[in-house]
Amino acid sequence: MGNRTDRGREHAEAANGASASTEKWARESGAVFEAEKTAFVHFVQPLQTDRGPLNHLVFGNKMIAPKRAVKILGVTLDSGLSMNEHVSKAVAKAIGKCMALRKIRGVPPAQMRQIYIAAIAPATGYAVSTWYAPSRIGVKRRVVVLERVQRLASRLILRSYKSVAMLVLQSEARLQSVSERLHERVSNHVTNLCSLALDHPLQRCTMVLTARLGVPGSIESGLRDV
pLDDT at 45: 62
Domain end marker among 38, 58, 76: 76
The answer to whether 134 and 143 are in contact (CB under 8 A) is no
Verify that 28 and 72 share a domain, yes or no.
Answer: yes
Owning domain of residue 201: 195-225
Verify that 39 and 100 share a domain, yes or no.
Answer: no
Verify that 90 and 162 share a domain, yes or no.
Answer: yes
Q: Give the Cα separation of 158 and 173 in Å (integer).
A: 7
Average pLDDT of the chain is 80
Verify that 99 and 115 share a domain, yes or no.
Answer: yes
Q: Please, how many CA atoms are within 13 Å of residue 198, restricted to the half-sphere of its CB?
A: 2
The H helix count followed by the E strand count for the chain is: 8, 4
Q: Mind listing the pLDDT tens digit for each residue in 8-35?
A: 667 677 777 777 777 788 778 877 777 6
Q: Which helix (H) or strand (E) holds 63?
A: strand 62-64
Verify that 88 and 143 share a domain, yes or no.
Answer: yes
The answer to whether 80 and 131 are in contact (CB under 8 A) is no
Model confidence at 1, pLDDT cuts 50, 70, 90, reads: very low
Verify that 22 and 67 share a domain, yes or no.
Answer: yes
Q: Give the Cα separation of 23 and 31 in Å (integer).
A: 9
Is residue 62 included in any domain, yes or no?
Answer: yes
pTM of the model: 0.71
Query: Which neighbouring-strand residues pair with 76?
Result: 71
Q: Mind listing the pLDDT tens digit for each residue in 142-180?
A: 999 999 999 999 999 998 888 899 999 999 999 999 999
pLDDT at 177: 92
Number of domains the chain contains? 3
